């Protein structure tokens, strides 16, 4: 199916449901943990005709099982980032090889982030993939730089000790046209907290992704963008990427595509909001748990149930964030509160 997917990434027309059902059949056959998950729900290939009935695998599965549907042994994996809260298990996303991953990453980035531009200096607020080879974000950013960056103008400005502000400041001073700053949301918080001030040339943009995960103070997205514009100039274009290590593709604000800040993704990604109780699709405008079908996830599992809450609208979707922990109502205590309380006591 690789060749077919490559064509789809290049814009060839395709029937989403048909490809999805074939992908399901292949992954059901090849990935034992996923097959068990489907069997427990009485869902085997050929027993239903609507791809929406394909069981969506909870992303937590990537922490506990090898979710792999490639041929032979995997050639690479990306690892989810831990949080500073504790030594939690990290998930791994296994790949036969990274060709598909790379092929789907660049056209979508060019459309949603660069707004179709061909070249732009890229400054990365992330760790160099040479240092952090199992970070999907670092690898993704390296490919974007190779495809669309300007040789000699750019670099990686985060290392184990954090954001290298002085170097970033020098690099920003050296560019003369529009520039792209790309990285994690918490690195941008460190940037604005550092007091760095400069006015980026018109047409400059930033793309940030991910949560804060205890690595910086928590900042609302609107507030973060206000702070970024305060530090880097009022006209900086700000784009949020919605993705996760367990996906191959990403979704983005559609600022550069349709003008809407609500999110969209490429044609091979379907995002739906489900009732967490029944997993039935909720109506447009209603919050639900985010379910993703990413056909580029050929070597793992294309059908994912996230832990995020989102709302679908006519012009795109919004992510409300990770579902906050549930609380009990009185002198009883529920799991999430208990974990929070005991984490506080331990730290």
Partner 1 sequence: MITGLLEAQRALALRPVDEILGVLDRVTERWLDPADPVRQEAEREIVRSTGLAPAMIRRGLDDMIHRVQGLPLALDNDLGTREALDGFCWRAPGMLSRAWGPGLLTCIFSGNVPGLPAFDMAMGLALKSAVLVRPPAEEPVFAGLFARTVMEEDEGLGRCLGVVRWGHEETWPYGQAGAVLAYGSDRTIAEIRRLVPPGVRFVGHGHKISFALVAREACDTATARRLAYDVTMYDQQGCVSPHMAFVERGGDLTPLAFAQAVGEELARLAQEMPRRRVSPEEAMALRGARDEAEFTADAVYGSQGDLAWAVIHHETPAFLPSTLNRLLRSFAVDDLAQVGPVVAPYRGYLQTAAFAGPPERRVAMAEALGSLGVSRVCAVGRVQEPSPLWRHDGHPTVGSLVRWTDIEGGEANSR
**Nearest distance, CB of residue 55 and partner 1, angstroms:** 11
Nearer to partner 1, 163 or 290 (CB): 290
> Contacts with partner 1: how many residues (CB under 8 A)?
38
Going by DSSP bridges, is the β-strand pair 251-254/260-264 parallel, antiparallel, or unpaired?
antiparallel
> Which position among 283, 330, 343, 347 is part of the footprint of partner 1 (CB under 8 A)?
330
Per-residue binding string, partner 1, 278-297, x by CB under 8 A, is x--------xxx--------
> Which position among 65, 99, 120, 189 is part of the footprint of partner 1 (CB under 8 A)?
65
Question: Binding to partner 1 by residue 37, rule CB under 8 A?
Answer: yes
Q: Name, in order, each residue with C-beta under 8 angstroms of 97's C-beta and a sequence gap of 6 or more.
A: 70, 75, 76
Q: Which stretch binds partner 1 (CB under 8 A): 60-68, 78-86, 209-217, 233-241?
A: 60-68
Nearer to partner 1, 61 or 141 (CB): 61
Q: What is the DSSP letter of 304?
A: E
CA atoms within 13 A on the CB side of 335: 2
Helix (H) or strand (E) holding 230: helix 221-232
Read out DSSP for 30-71? H-HHHHHHHHHTT--TTS-S-GGGSPPEETTHHHHS----SS
Contact 308, 321 (CB under 8 A): yes
**Nearest distance, CB of residue 33 and partner 1, angstroms:** 7
Question: Binding to partner 1 by residue 337, rule CB under 8 A?
Answer: yes
Q: Name, in order, each residue with C-beta under 8 angstroms of 36's C-beta and a sequence gap of 6 or more.
A: none
Nearer to partner 1, 9 or 28 (CB): 28
Question: Binding to partner 1 by residue 323, rule CB under 8 A?
Answer: yes
Contact 250, 259 (CB under 8 A): no
> Which position among 128, 167, 193, 275 is part of the footprint of partner 1 (CB under 8 A)?
275
Q: Name, in order, each residue with C-beta under 8 angstroms of 139's C-beta and a sequence gap of 6 or more.
A: 78, 98, 101, 129, 133
Q: Which stretch binds partner 1 (CB under 8 A): 98-106, 219-227, 254-262, 302-310?
A: 302-310
What residues line the site for partner 1 (CB under 8 A)? 33, 37, 40-41, 58, 60-61, 63-65, 275-278, 287-289, 305, 307, 309, 323-338, 341-342
């Amino acid at each position: 199916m690789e060749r077919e997917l490559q064509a789809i990434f290049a814009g060839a027309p395709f029937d989403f449901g048909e490809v999805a059902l074939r992908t399901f059949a292949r992954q059901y056959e090849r990935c034992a943990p996923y097959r068990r998950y489907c069997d427990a729900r009485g869902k085997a290939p050929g027993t239903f005709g609507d791809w929406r009935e394909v069981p969506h695998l909870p992303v937590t599965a990537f922490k506990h099982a090898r979710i792999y549907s490639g041929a032979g042994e995997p050639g690479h994996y990306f690892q989810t980032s831990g949080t500073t809260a504790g030594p939690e298990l990290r998930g791994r996303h296994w790949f036969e090889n990274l060709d598909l991953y790379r092929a789907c990453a660049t056209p979508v980035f060019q459309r949603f982030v660069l707004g179709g531009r061909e070249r732009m200096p890229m400054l990365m607020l992330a760790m160099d993939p040479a240092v952090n080879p199992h970070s999907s974000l670092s690898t993704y950013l390296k490919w974007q730089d190779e495809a669309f960056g300007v040789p000699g103008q750019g670099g990686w400005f985060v290392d184990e000790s954090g954001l290298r502000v002085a170097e970033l400041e020098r690099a920003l001073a050296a560019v003369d046209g529009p520039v792209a700053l790309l990285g994690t949301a918490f690195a941008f918080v460190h940037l604005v907290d550092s007091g760095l001030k400069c006015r980026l040339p018109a047409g400059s943009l930033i793309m940030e992704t991910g949560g804060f995960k205890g690595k910086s103070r928590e900042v609302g997205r609107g507030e973060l963008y206000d702070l970024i514009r305060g530090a880097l100039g009022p006209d900086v274009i700000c784009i949020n990427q919605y993705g996760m290590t367990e996906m191959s593709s990403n979704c983005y604000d559609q600022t550069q595509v349709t003008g809407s800040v609500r999110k969209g993704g490429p044609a091979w990604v379907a995002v739906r909001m489900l009732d967490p109780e029944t997993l039935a699709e909720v109506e447009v405008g209603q919050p639900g748990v985010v379910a993703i079908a990413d056909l580029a996830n050929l070597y793992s599992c294309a059908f994912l149930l996230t832990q995020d809450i989102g709302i679908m609208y006519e012009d795109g979707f919004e992510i409300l964030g990770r579902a906050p922990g549930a609380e009990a109502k009185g002198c009883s205590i529920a799991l999430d509160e208990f974990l929070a309380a005991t984490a506080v006591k331990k730290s």
